[in-house]
Amino acid sequence: MKRCLDIARKDLRSEFRTKQMLNSMLIFALLVIVIFSFAFGPYPENIDQLAPGILWVAFTFAGMLGLARSFASEKEQGCLDGLKLCPVDRSAIYMGKVMSNTVLMFIMEMITVPVFIVLFDYSISNPLELGCIIMLGTLGFVFVGTLLSALTVNVRAREILLPVILFPVIVPVIISAVLATGKILSGTNDIWAEIRILGAYGAIFFIVALLIFEYVIED
Amino acid sequence: MISINKLSKVFGDNIALRDVDLNIKKGEFITLLGPNGAGKTTLIKIMSTLMSATSGSVTIDGYDVKEEPIEVRKRIGVISHETYLYDDLTAYENLEFYGKMYEIGELDERISNVVSLAGLQHRLHDRVGTFSRGMKQRLSIARTLLHDPPILFLDEPYTGLDQHAAATFDEISSGFAEDKTTMMATHDISRGLEKCDRLLILSSGEIVFDAPKEKIRDEAHLRSIYVQHTSG
């Protein structure tokens, strides 16, 4: 666990110094929210049906920018080989990357959600439930995204390939998260079914990723 | 110290290594010569646990690279033409990170020692991205020596270095490699001959020449052997 934290700390230290990924993710997410808010006008009739999808489009597409860079940055100067040469279990590399990607996603989401609430004129009566859904949805996205980011790291067109293989796999996460977010925004609190799906999806993919990561990053 | 038995590696239709057998004694300095695509890097990658073999086995210090890779990694250091250093971190932060990954005790003192050896004390808190290629390679030496590995693999360490940087690399490496078991893959016949105890030539995935340094009269002799074994 300590080695995972060291890897995450190294990634975040490097990222906070350059802010390459964070700035891209943040600007992209805010642009999506702003563009959709202008496109649909101030008070569209079916905003309750559209808004959750808009929020998760912003999260997932912005997150994709970060995930694509997550392992690609390790390829520079052969750092991925340097990491693989360290006497730690390869799953520690996956865990460390999951931690740093999750922190970056949460920062992006914490700034995006208030802007979304203001622009779409929502008042959130149950912020804890919204936070819970965003957390579970983000973890499911990051667990799979980090694994597939490692899988595509040696591919020349990885920026194109990653979304193509990631989005079909995370359909259950996106559908459940959008449904649950829609219920929360409309004041309904019956989101247990979605929480169960998100929890099970995250747990299954996390375990699978830990088991197969060693083979995924082998040359 | 290192034992390689019937090692083969196949990429699709391409045979990168073909039944390689090799034993390396403790403290030996092996120079591995061969043309591009001969399998030098593949051999070093398999020995250093970065790649798995198609068949055969490698044992390092009694540990099988496939069965106990973590034990093997504790005992080896790899210097490549790639530095394995993060440009956005300082030299100290890079060494601190790798030191933690190797669980090195009294890390600050160890960092101070290896940085002194590499002659980079004055740039310890500068970002590696601002370093010249030669300085990065010296820092790469410091990174490799942090956990004081008894076995070193040097994979084309002179690539991209100018004459001055290569000479500095030689000066530093002559100090640290003395008591270590070392295998260096290189195209630099002159440097390879100067440093080694034993010379290997790899061609098309096979060891086609294996002799102690004493059997080589001079550089011209080695060049003729090299051409003879790698042409065609």
Residue in A7, A78, A218 closest to B84 by CB:
A78
User: Which residue, among B43, B52, B71, B97, would best test binding to A if mutated, counting the most A CBs under 10 Å from its CB?
Assistant: B97
Q: Which residues contact B184 (CB under 8 A, 6 or more apart)?
A: B29, B30, B31, B32, B153, B154, B157, B192, B195, B196
Is there a contact between A87 and B101 if contact means CB atoms under 8 Å apart?
Answer: yes
**What tokens were used for A62?**
């912005």
Is there a contact between A78 and B86 if contact means CB atoms under 8 Å apart?
Answer: no
Q: Where are the domains of chain A?
A: 2-216
Residue A45 has pLDDT above 80, yes or no: no
Name B79's bridge partners. B154
Is there a contact between A81 and B70 if contact means CB atoms under 8 Å apart?
Answer: no
Tell me what pLDDT residue A159 has.
Answer: 79
Name the percent of chain B lying above pLDDT 70: 98
Which DSSP string do the residues of A10-65 spell out, in sequence order?
A: HHHHHHHHH-HHHHHHHHHHHHHHHHHHHHT-SS-TTHHHHHHHHHHHHHHHHHHH
What's the predicted TM-score (pTM) here? Answer: 0.89
The pLDDT tens digits for A46-74 are: 777 888 999 999 999 999 988 888 888 88
User: Nearest CA to B10 among B67, B55, B57?
Assistant: B55
Tell me what pLDDT residue A44 has.
Answer: 65
Question: If 0-12 CB within 10 Å is exposed, 13-18 middle and 19+ buried, where does residue A81 land?
Answer: buried
Residue B146 has pLDDT above 80, yes or no: yes
Is there a contact between B50 and A81 if contact means CB atoms under 8 Å apart?
Answer: yes
Is there a contact between B88 and A14 if contact means CB atoms under 8 Å apart?
Answer: yes
The pLDDT tens digits for A152-184 are: 888 878 778 888 999 999 999 999 999 999 888
Distance from CA of B118 to the nearest CA of A (A): 19
The pLDDT tens digits for B67-104 are: 999 999 999 999 988 899 999 999 999 999 999 999 99
Distance from CA of A75 to the nearest CA of B (A): 9
ipTM reported for the complex, 2 dp: 0.89
The pLDDT tens digits for A75-133 are: 888 899 999 999 999 999 999 999 999 999 999 999 999 999 888 888 878 888 899 99
**What tokens were used for B3?**
């034992």
Distance from CA of B223 to the nearest CA of A (A): 31
Q: Which residues contact B35 (CB under 8 A, 6 or more apart)?
A: B203, B230
Name the percent of chain A lying above pLDDT 70: 99
Other C-beta atoms lying within 10 Å of the C-beta of residue A39: 10
Tell me what pLDDT residue A177 has.
Answer: 94
Helix, strand, or coil here: B63?
A: strand
Residue in A6, A17, A78 closest to B101 by CB:
A6
Chain B residue with minimum CA distance to A90: B70
Say whether residue B110 is in contact with chain A using an 8 A CB cutoff.
Answer: no
Mean pLDDT taken over chain B: 89
Name the percent of chain A lying above pLDDT 90: 60
Q: Which residues contact B95 (CB under 8 A, 6 or more apart)?
A: B111, B114, B115, B139, B142, B143, B146
Tell me what pLDDT residue B232 has.
Answer: 61
